[in-house]
Chains A and B, each alone.
Chain A
Amino acid sequence: MLVFVLGDGGRVKNLSICLILLSICFASRFAPAQDDLAGARVSLAELEWRGAIRRYTAILETAKPGSAEWTEATYGLGISHHHVQPPSSETISAAMRQYQQIIDQASDQRYVARAMMNVGRVHELRDYSEDVVDLAKAREAYEKVVARFPNDPIAGEAVLRAASTLVMAFDEPNYEQVKSGITMLEKWLAAHPDDALASVMWQYIGDAYFRPLADYENALRAYENVDRLGWTDQGNQGPWYWRAAQLAERFLDKPDIAAKYYAKIIMETPNSGKAYESMESLRRLGKPVPSSPLFETVAPSTQPAVGTASTQRSKP
């Protein structure tokens, strides 16, 4: 190409050809981004926030405000700004602007509700070093969602988030905020026992009663409710089963409830690592021990599994 340029014959023409070739090479870099919602959705699905920002910005250049396309693009741009890495005050501010636009102008109320929730998430979570966490503002945002959409499933989520801003205060020594958060949730559950997040709420309540309140009676009661409704994190509820069993056996003298959870560990979460100890506990309580396929084929061993040290450490 250089020879072309430097050659004496028809050099202006050759130079033009070279420049055109160069332009083609870099054309794609400067070409306008595809205003393609499908492409933006793919970026979103792949957590490719920068690509999503580019695509949504291009779409918004031509989308009519208030239209479905505009709503999706504005919301998409908002969460892309919210979650692009690394976050900064500029990106978070841009996200807030987009959320506010949705709240003010979108006709699809689902987007409005979610944007209002996201405003609360921005206040609640620290996104960058200098970001200020304002739990009160976050709670206010969640409560606005509940007020505006009281009959929508999102209201339950908003109550849960609002309550968590109180529980996570861990305000010793009296834990007034923690108790307020629990009360908020229990009130909601009393009125909405079939809430989509009821199981999550009861599990959260149980955890809060357990720690920091050390109210084991109520903690167990909450876990019983979770068990009745079904555990959300199926397959990983082993630690909660163990906790419920320990609370029942060691602190509340409720062997039947303890036995129930020990049996659940064996049958439902044998991979939790506590199945064997649960069998021992059931024998200790004099309760029937269910069989588990995990124990059916066991490697031949030269030694029994159990030694002589009790759960209390040996003193010198």
Chain B
Amino acid sequence: MSIDTRAEKPARLGGNLLGVTMLVVAFVVSLIVSTVNTLRIERPNETIIRIAHWQLEKGYREALDIAIKEYQRRNPGVKIEQMGVTEKLYNQWINTQLISGTAPDLCEMGQSNMLTKDEYTVKYFIPLSNLITRPNPYNANNNLKDTPWKETLLDGMRGGFREGLQEYYGVPTTLISMRLFVNRTLLKQATGSDALPETFGEWMAQCRAIREYAKKTGQERSLIPIVSCYGIQSIKGTYEVPFTSSYERELDLDLNGDVLPIETYIGYRKKQVTLQDPSMQALFRSMKMVGDQMQLGFSGMDRQTAQYTFANQRAAFLSTGSWDASGVAQQAETSGFDLAVIQMPLPAEDEEFGAYIRGRQNEASSNGAGVYGVYKNSKHAEQALDFMMFLTSREGNEILNQNSEWPPLTIGAKPSKLMEPFQPDPRGYNARVSLGFGPRVTQVINAELVNYFQGFAPFSEFERIYNEVILDPRRGGDWAWWNEYDLRRRDVRNKERVLAQDLALELITPGSRDPNRTRRAVLQQLTRYNGTDYLWLFRTEREADPFVAWKDFQPVFP
């Protein structure tokens, strides 16, 4: 082999020089830009706060800009820069920013492990528990002026609470809820009246009339009564409480006001609830009726197609959430039809399923969304927090949510006209029968029940497969029970870490920690009994030895 690694004369670079020059120029330009940006951020006379999020839906950025301008007007010398990052990239982008120490002062929490997992949250974000108990100064002119900041939000700031850390790490700014959008123009065309359905029976009657109209006008293939952005499961979710809340008295063993999946499983095994119960059948049959009014094989329809179909006036009813409202409203305006928003109608007393309805699902316990955390290394953490106070004051929250057409979160904040129907309704019930106990059972429900709703399989087929899985000792309810026991045990152990940290820091600097936080963590540990209560429950309710039943699972500990 003969390789001359030492050429006597450098060859002409020719065209290669162009490539090198471009590289150098690009490098120099990016160096200049990033230096200028850094200097801008660190300008001593100006406070610049950066706020990052992935809400690129129509209206949100503009609304946040309006809120920012108002805040800047009240706080001269403070500049706030909005950074909207596309949802698909937000994860990688924010991870890089956090690790490199250059994250924005306010980051929307979610998408990334670094923002959702406790071990990272505690590293990168400021705990807020001690700060949210004081009143919000931006509420000084309304009846919330003496209310602790936390209590001025409809969800009590629960959206920002981290159970594992027993701390608040974020401030939510909006609420989300599901509703039914109605094309009143099409409704009038098809049925002769644009009256909104007040009952389930009326709704189904309107849907049948739309089918008839479609047949008469040769639009059988293209006109559908109902479409849903999230399939029929999202619609069924809103009917579960009305149909099954009456099981609460029998199934709520711990009297905590809710029926946990494990309690449903216990009830299922003891035949206190079966799939053939009249109220369960009423739920399934009513959802089958809804499925009959959707597109044939609707499980193949995705969110975009559903919205597109509705926007092009080929569906009269669209089920989706508040986050889509402004987009749908704009599409309605463009297409020129009259849009209305209602809650999912329930069967009336004298209708087919009326006897099984206890009442509507209440939305009082919904958690807030649009949660922002304050970055620990922010140079202007106080100012950033102040901005969040403004954004969640009655006035600030109105500005943000009225302009973005999202539901406001602050108590008393007026929603936009479009958002009025999305306001959480605290009237109603909350307990429901949860058939999905364990991931494999949930998979069966998602994959097989939809076959029944689509009319491709009889209910007996779903019942057979469901019973096969839920009663399977290796992958059904018993496995899920073991999993819950294990998670409970680990939860106690994880809380022990946080508790140990708290107590150690209190020893090092007495008075530095909130004693109530410690007491709360101790209480939460104690009430989980290291998981032994689930063992006891298995022995007494399943009437079996868990260590025999779970012998194939690991780890299981006596």
Contacts and interface: CB of A to CB of B under 8 A. Distances in A.
Interface of A: 41, 44-48, 72, 75-76, 79, 82-83, 110-111, 114, 118, 121, 124-127, 129, 133, 157, 160, 164, 167-170, 172, 196-197, 199-200, 203-204, 207, 210-212, 232-235, 238-239, 242-243, 246-247, 270-277, 293-295, 297-303, 305-316
Given A273-B258, A298-B423, 4 more contacts: A82-B500, A212-B536, A233-B520, A299-B424
A101 to B, nearest CB: 15
A246 B356 CA distance: 23
A314 B356 contact: yes
Residue among A83, A111, A310 with the highest chain B CB neighbour number at 10 A: A83
Nearest to B158: A271
A216 B419 CA distance: 45
Given A75-B504, A246-B255, A293 B412 contact: yes
A313 B498 contact: no
B427 A204 contact: no
Contacts of B301: none
Contacts of A293: 411-412
Interface in B255-307: 255-258, 277-279
Contacts of B242: 307
B253 to A, nearest CB: 8
Contacts of A83: 496-497, 500-501
Given A125-B493, A243-B254, A276-B428, A309 B355 contact: yes
A311 B357 CA distance: 10
Interface in B55-83: none
Residue among A110, A168, A300, A316 with the highest chain B CB neighbour number at 10 A: A168
B432 to A, nearest CB: 11
A170 B535 contact: yes
Nearest to B255: A243
B365 A315 contact: no
A302 B197 contact: yes
Contacts of B412: 293, 297
Contacts of B501: 44-45, 47, 79, 83
B533 A276 contact: no
Contacts of B536: 170, 172, 212
Interface stretch (B208-216, B339-347, B434-442): B339-347
Given A303-B360, A306-B358, A211 B533 contact: yes
Given A167-B529, A311-B246, A313-B246, A294 B426 contact: yes
Nearest to A308: B349
A306 B493 CA distance: 43
B451 interface: no
Contacts of A46: 122-123
B199 interface: yes
B364 interface: yes
A85 B108 CA distance: 28
Contact of A273 (B257, B277, B411, B539): B257
A272 B342 contact: no
B365 A302 contact: no
Given A170-B536, A294-B154, A200 B426 contact: no
Contacts of A299: 343, 420-425
Nearest to A305: B427
B519 A273 contact: no
5 contacts: A272-B365, A294-B154, A294-B364, A307-B242, A309-B279
Contacts of B254: 210-211, 243
Interface residues of B, number: 89
A110 B503 CA distance: 11
A271 B365 contact: yes
A200 to B, nearest CB: 5
A300 B489 CA distance: 44
B359 interface: yes
Contacts of B473: none
B540 interface: yes
Given A48-B123, A114-B507, A170-B536, A239 B256 contact: yes
B128 interface: no
Interface in B116-159: 119, 122-123, 150, 154-156, 158
A172 B539 contact: yes
A176 B104 CA distance: 57
B355 A271 contact: no
Contacts of A44: 501, 504-505
Contacts of B503: 114
B527 A204 contact: yes
B156 A235 contact: yes
Contact of B256 (A133, A242, A301, A313): A242
A57 B507 CA distance: 19
A308 B357 CA distance: 6
A195 to B, nearest CB: 11
Given A197-B522, A271-B155, A314 B365 contact: no
Nearest to B179: A299
Nearest to A315: B278
Interface string B90-124: 00000000000000000000000000000100110
Interface string B497-513: 11011011101100000
B427 A276 contact: yes
A47 B123 contact: yes
A309 to B, nearest CB: 4
B519 A196 contact: yes
B498 A47 contact: yes
Contacts of A168: 529-530, 532-533
B10 interface: no
Contacts of A204: 523, 526-527
A74 to B, nearest CB: 12
Contacts of B504: 44, 75-76, 79, 114
Contacts of A203: 523, 527
B427 A295 contact: yes
B515 interface: yes
Nearest to A129: B555
Contacts of A47: 119, 122-123, 497-498, 501
A313 B246 CA distance: 6
A118 B279 CA distance: 52
B238 interface: no
A39 to B, nearest CB: 13
Contacts of B346: 303, 307
A124 B530 contact: yes
B54 interface: no
B246 A271 contact: no
Interface string B313-324: 000000000000
Nearest to A113: B507
Nearest to A211: B254
Contacts of A298: 423, 425-427
Q: Which 5 A-B pairs have the closest CB atoms?
A: A307-B357, A170-B536, A305-B427, A273-B365, A239-B256
B352 interface: no
A232 B197 CA distance: 46
B175 to A, nearest CB: 11
Nearest to A6: B5
Contact of A303 (B198, B250, B498, B554): B198
Contact of B428 (A210, A238, A294, A305): A305
Given A126-B489, A172-B540, A196-B515, A309 B356 contact: yes
A246 B426 CA distance: 21
B365 A307 contact: no
